């Protein structure tokens, strides 16, 4: 008989209960039970034969996952709720048909392509440090743009004590007071582009993510969303190296 058991935190992530890290926290807090017994970190479960509960609620595996892309406007935070009452991206995707969660982040002042899903494994795959799916941003900056500036932005800078992967930088348009740059990232550290520009002593005026892998904002107006088709999901998964 084939052993179909998988780690408990992976199963909870697959069921869109929580990310693997959060699932481990729930297990450590004693909130997860398997067949009526309090689970421990490292436990494995059989999705077909074991009963898993979180806080007393039975977990049922999703047969269908939802994957969408949203053209996030500026002024919205990338969370599903906010205790301060600020506008959240959840307000824009209420009619998706499932409770989806953001994959990665775009800060409140940024806009552009944001993925959301109820597939915890997919979200974990796309945000893992080994994920090399390129993300393209158009960045309007203010300040002097010299060859040295571009060389600096393209170099493996150190941000928050960690060296980042080199970023591909191209000038799309020059202005008397700055430029619009196209920046291609292969990782997504918190506020990475803004911190890079701080190091280069230029100011970010506007930041927009225009593409993730082969996905672009083409035809999607600000504030709108659409489902990804199965091939688009497959392509994203294949792009993770």
- Cβ atoms 170, 180 nearer than 8 A: no
Which member of 107, 118, 203, 229 is catalytic?
107
Nearest to 22, CA basis, from 68, 55, 49, 48: 55
Residue 138: closest CA among 181, 100, 174, 82: 181
104/189 Cα distance (integer angstroms): 10
Residues 6 or more apart in contact with residue 231 via CB below 8 angstroms: none
Annotated catalytic residue 107: yes
Measured CA distances, 26 to 43, 48, 59, 238 (Å): 13, 22, 14, 31
* CA 121 to mean position of chain CA atoms: 12
Q: What residues act catalytically?
A: 107
């Amino acid at each position: 008989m084939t052993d179909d058991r998988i780690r408990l935190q992976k199963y909870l992530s697959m069921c869109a209960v929580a990310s693997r890290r959060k699932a481990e926290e729930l297990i450590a807090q004693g909130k997860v039970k398997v067949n009526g017994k309090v689970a421990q970190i490292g436990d494995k479960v059989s999705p077909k034969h074991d009963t898993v509960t979180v806080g007393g609620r039975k977990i049922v595996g999703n047969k269908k996952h939802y994957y969408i892309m949203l053209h996030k406007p500026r002024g919205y935070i990338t969370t599903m709720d906010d205790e301060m009452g600020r506008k959240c991206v959840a307000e824009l995707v209420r009619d998706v048909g499932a409770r989806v969660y953001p994959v990665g982040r775009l800060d409140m002042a940024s806009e552009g392509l944001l993925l959301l899903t109820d597939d915890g494994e997919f979200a974990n795959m796309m945000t893992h440090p080994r994920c090399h799916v390129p993300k393209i941003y158009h960045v309007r900056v203010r300040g002097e743009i010299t060859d040295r500036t571009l060389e600096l932005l393209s170099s493996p800078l150190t941000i928050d004590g960690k060296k980042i992967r080199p970023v591909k930088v191209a000038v799309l348009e020059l202005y008397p007071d700055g430029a619009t740059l196209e920046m291609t990232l292969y990782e997504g550290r918190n506020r990475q582009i803004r911190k890079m520009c701080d190091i280069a002593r230029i100011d970010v005026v506007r930041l927009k993510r225009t593409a993730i892998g082969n996905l672009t904002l083409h035809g999607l107006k600000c504030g709108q969303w659409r489902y990804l088709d199965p091939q688009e999901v497959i392509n994203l998964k294949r792009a993770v190296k």
